[in-house]
Amino acid sequence: METALLIISILLIILVLLQSAKAEGGPQIISGGQSELFANRKERGSELVITRITMLLGAAFFVICLLSMFF
């Protein structure tokens, strides 16, 4: 179970780093600049696939963590 958790966490780190387009307004939040960070943007193509895989891996990580507490 720990091996699966390790693999999922590494994949999550890689996928989150691939989602750089969403993080382009991050420094503007701290400095108070105007940004369209929370604007309603549609994801298409590879962005949509990466987002869905990230959500699935995040849910799997959560479930495995909960299961590892009990077993």
Each residue of 5-42: b (16+ CB within 10 Å) or e? eeebeeebeebeeeeeeeeeeeeeeeeeeeeeeeeeee
For 27-41, write each residue's pLDDT tens digit: 555 666 555 655 666
Entry pTM: 0.70
Six-digit token pair at 58? 């995040």
For 2-28, write each residue's pLDDT tens digit: 999 999 999 999 999 988 655 555 555
Domain range annotation of the chain: 1-18+46-71
